[in-house]
Structure 1
């Protein structure tokens, strides 16, 4: 499952869904949570369920962000959307791996009811939206079999902390830098995809590009988006360049030709086993 770009789409908007399908995003996240007013939850749930009935081939993965466990809406959401065509759920406001185990049991029951292969619906987690969650990031390793990705969010965490701001000139304030970094570490420990959070100013294309390049430099493999116009930039920034692919191939081929070597000279620089692992990851992302 390729997840460079994951575009949020309000679950109650047919117009926005139609536009999102043409965006080129690797995944669409049909949202039943924050972008849907309480009075529209049932209508959004029914709309998303109807979209899953369309069995035409698609070039993107179908995710649904369901409502958090403490809302009383979770089981209704899952009952409506766990059906053939659903690729994954995005779990908001998770407090640790215990929540994912619980979701795994729910999904197994609903998959069985829908005559789907058990385990076919993957899970991505917004892992930093509560203060409690920040002390449980280590629990995601070893990963639940369904866990595909960890991502983070600053807005709900800011509300939980009572912050007046979570950004300043140059980026996130310190508490949210910690959340971002800890999410990256947790994903690496669990050996799942680290996905960076949204860039809220969808008109700021220059800032988005800069942030994406920094993010990929640090180790994130993809990013969530809130507007179709952000997708092309995200896809480009989280895809290896031709030069990076060629360099990775040279490293992999050199070690394959010298199986007993721990260090080799390539392109005028010394490379070792960590460089080989990085090259293998680059080639795996193509």
Structure 2
């Protein structure tokens, strides 16, 4: 299972002047974007800028991914030259054929499959089971454009993705970017809805959004204390009683481990 991040931040690949601030933002994950954030005539410059950033060894300690353009062979080959742990964020995945094509050009790379269409959501189970896929993610803006509908449609898509990921042994997906950058109250409300559904973490388009997202997913001291007590209690097997009087059993181990696993020093 791949790492879980409370916060992720996109940075345009053709804005190397922003790379350092993205690295220093406190996000657990930085995604260097060669796709939507870059104008068509700037794609080549973006590839070169990202390659130079990694080559010069100026990166911070955040995890890194590169969002490529769907089906772009040059993007995929460029990522192959980067450090082996750099993941490929692959847009518009609709079938395992899309994944096989990416693997052929960038073998051995961890793939994060972005589901951005009705076909992608419907095929989420088989996509999640592909051996190169380490996580799923949803492209909510693209999905709204294709499918229409409101929050009920997004909730259905989020849950479909979540169950596909967990059934395949993948981590709970991160929520998609909230596009209204300065609507922090709306961001908090929607992030809580995503968390209540079982998603974990969220991508951001601007560092301003990171503290709001972090606050939703960061475990409280009480959560951490409960998780540690549960793991200690169930280690002996059978049913146990916590100091609070709550009865626990091994079925609660997974929840406790997820809470402790969400303690992320950088976020």
Q: Would you call these one fold, judging by a TM-score over 0.5? A: yes
| Deviation beyond 4 Å, 4+ runs, structure 1 | none
Q: Is the 8 A contact 1:24 1:232 kept in 2?
A: no
Residues 37-65 of structure 1 deviation map (CA, whole Å, 9 limit, x = unaligned): 11111111111111111214521112110
RMSD (Å) for aligned C-alpha atoms: 1.9
Partner of 1:68: 70
Partner of 2:50: 48
Partner of 1:114: none
| Structure 2 residue runs without a partner (length 5+) | none
Q: For 1:150, which of 130, 133, 136 is the aligned residue?
A: 136
2:78 matches 1:101:
no
Q: For 1:21, which of 23, 26, 30 is the aligned residue?
A: 23
Partner of 1:178: 156
Partner of 2:240: 264
Is 203-212 or 187-196 further displaced after alignment? 203-212
Give the paired residue count. 258
Q: Is the 8 A contact 1:195 1:220 kept in 2?
A: yes
Query: Structure 2: how far apart are the matches of 1:150 and 1:141?
Result: 7
Query: Structure 1: how far apart are the matches of 2:27 and 2:163?
Result: 25
Q: For 2:168, which of 181, 190, 197 is the aligned residue?
A: 190
Residues 89-147 of structure 1 deviation map (CA, whole Å, 9 limit, x = unaligned): 10110003332233223212xxxxxxxxxx3x3211112x1222122111034351x32
Partner of 1:126: 114
Q: Is the 8 A contact 2:77 2:106 kept in 1?
A: no
Q: Which has the higher contact order (CA 8 A, sep 6+)?
A: 2
Cα drift, residue 284 of structure 1: 2.7
What SS does the corresponding residue of 2:97 show, helix, strand or coil? helix
What SS does the corresponding residue of 1:196 show, helix, strand or coil? coil
| Structure 1 residue runs without a partner (length 5+) | 109-118
Cα drift, residue 247 of structure 1: 0.1
Partner of 2:250: 273
Partner of 1:159: 145
Q: How has the CA–CA distance of structure 1 residues 141 and 21 changed in structure 2, closer, same or farther, with 3 Å as cutoff?
A: closer
Q: Is the 8 A contact 1:143 1:192 kept in 2?
A: no
Query: Structure 1: how far apart are the matches of 2:60 and 2:168?
Result: 29
Cα drift, residue 84 of structure 1: 3.5
Cα drift, residue 202 of structure 1: 1.4
Query: Structure 2: how far apart are the matches of 1:124 and 1:181?
Result: 17
Q: How has the CA–CA distance of structure 1 residues 47 and 185 changed in structure 2, closer, same or farther, with 3 Å as cutoff?
A: same
Residues 21-45 of structure 1 deviation map (CA, whole Å, 9 limit, x = unaligned): 2211111111111111111111111
Q: How has the CA–CA distance of structure 1 residues 280 and 149 changed in structure 2, closer, same or farther, with 3 Å as cutoff?
A: same
2:187 matches 1:208:
yes
Q: Is the 8 A contact 1:5 1:223 kept in 2?
A: yes
